[in-house]
Amino acid sequence: MIAYDLQCSQGHVFEGWFEDGHAYKSQKRKGLLTCPVCNETEVSRVPSTFAIKSAIGGSTSAATAQVNLDQVGAKMVGFVETNFDNVGCDFAKEALKIHYGAAEPRSIRGTSTPEEEKTLKEGGIDFIKIPLPQQQESDS
């Protein structure tokens, strides 16, 4: 038996057990794989965290993993702050202007209300919400 991590087109991740790799391929080709959450039949294999070896001798402590996660978060915050114009609460207005050619295309960041996000989605404007960690105040 072999276990694969699978994901449907809606983003639900689940595990599938198969006799072998050929059985997985056969079931996928026949459309027999379905998501247990939404019954979606468009399913693909995704990398298994079980099979991913860490760079540090094959094991990582929880503390090391948290430090690595904090470092990635700090780099992400720095990148966004450096490379995106902060338009504050005018995010939706600026995104609409860029989309319709009334403003120069550029990367922007800011805040929006759920209603504004709905308007952007309905207008075909792609955006991504990234929760940024709070900056820690320095004691200096």
Higher local confidence (pLDDT), 85 or 139 = 85
Closest CA to 133 of 63, 80, 91: 80
Closest CA to 92 of 60, 57, 127: 127
CB 73 within 8 A of CB 51: no
pLDDT value, residue 128 = 85
At 13-71, the pLDDT tens digits run 888 888 888 988 999 999 899 988 898 999 998 877 665 555 555 555 677 777 777 78
Residue with more model confidence, 63 or 79? 79
